[in-house]
Amino acid sequence: MNFVNLKVDVVDRICRVTINRPDKLNALNQATIAELDRAVEAAVADPEVWAIIVTGAGDKSFVAGADIQELNGLEALEARTFARRGQMVFSRLEQSAKPTLAAVNGFALGGGCELAMACHLRIASSNAVFGQPEVKLGLIPGYGGTQRLPRLVGRGVALELLLTGRNVKAEEAQRIGLVNQVVEPDQLLGAAEKMLSVILANGPTAVGLCVDAVNRGIALSLEQGCALEADLFAVGASSPEMAEGTQAFLEKRPASFR
């Protein structure tokens, strides 16, 4: 599969998707969004891929935001279509049964912050900067930022960041729960691969069921969420992975999941 604005490679069951527009600080134009959609769809469908890393080319920027030239002059219906298209692509990452991880190098602003939040996990380099500065352009986030940010950091902190457009550095992002881990820039991809290797040692069906339970359960009451969990627990209990995992535990050996 050929791409103009992405680099895609698969090594040791991990698909690395790199936004590759360094001259534009990896800003997301519509062509890049379309390529990202194709890349993620292919990775999710590929049985040789068990996890996905999303990162940006270079060390200055993960994704600096949407391409402002494409935003300028949008009419209302065009703007809605613009937003829904990006939301659909980002939701593909969020709803993937395979773990998705954003390795954030440098600026993750606007659409870049939204892309990182759509991934299940986020590791940031110490020079990373996050923000939703859309209000400074007279806009609001359009790729899910107003919805995912409060789910990650809480309503009050999310509103502060959304209403002020203030950027946060990596350490603060970790403190407020926006980022899982902060590492030095030269350790970023290694740390991402290390975290995923720990996850990939577990049953892949169970990993996918955990993602599904959290994604769907977060919008439910506790009682409804627990009922969903019981249903998904039953799915996991009937899988070959459960038989292998429990047998391996009893035999005091590493499990071999396929």
> What is the band of 161 on the pLDDT scale with cuts at 50, 70, 90?
very high
Please state, as a whole number, how many other Cβ atoms lie within 10 Å of the Cβ of residue 42.
15
The pLDDT of residue 165 is 97
Total residue length of the chain = 258
- Write out the catalytic residue numbers: 114, 134
Kindly report, residue by residue over 208-248, the tens digit of the pLDDT: 999 999 999 999 999 999 999 999 999 999 988 888 888 88
Q: Which domains does the chain have, with CATH numbers?
A: 6-200 (3.90.226.10), 204-250 (1.10.12)
From 24-33, 160-169, 233-242, the region with the lowest mean pLDDT: 233-242
The pLDDT of residue 171 is 97
DSSP the chain: ---SSEEEEEETTEEEEEE--GGGTT-B-HHHHHHHHHHHHHHHH-TT--EEEEEESSSSEEE--B-HHHHTT--HHHHHHHHHHHHHHHHHHHT-SS-EEEEE-SEEETHHHHHHHHSSEEEEETT-EEE--GGGGT----SSHHHHHHHHH-HHHHHHHHHH---EEHHHHHHTTS-SEEE-GGGHHHHHHHHHHHHHTS-HHHHHHHHHHHHHHTTS-HHHHHHHHHHHHHHHHTSHHHHHHHHHHHTTS-----
Kindly report, residue by residue over 119-135, the tens digit of the pLDDT: 999 999 999 999 999 99
Q: What is the mean pLDDT of residues 145-163?
A: 97
Kindly report, residue by residue over 189-206, the tens digit of the pLDDT: 999 999 999 999 999 999
Q: Structure pTM?
A: 0.94
CA 116 to chain centre: 5
The pLDDT of residue 69 is 81
> Above 90 in pLDDT, residue 251?
no
Q: What is the mean pLDDT of residues 168-185?
A: 98
> Above 90 in pLDDT, residue 257?
no
The pLDDT of residue 208 is 94
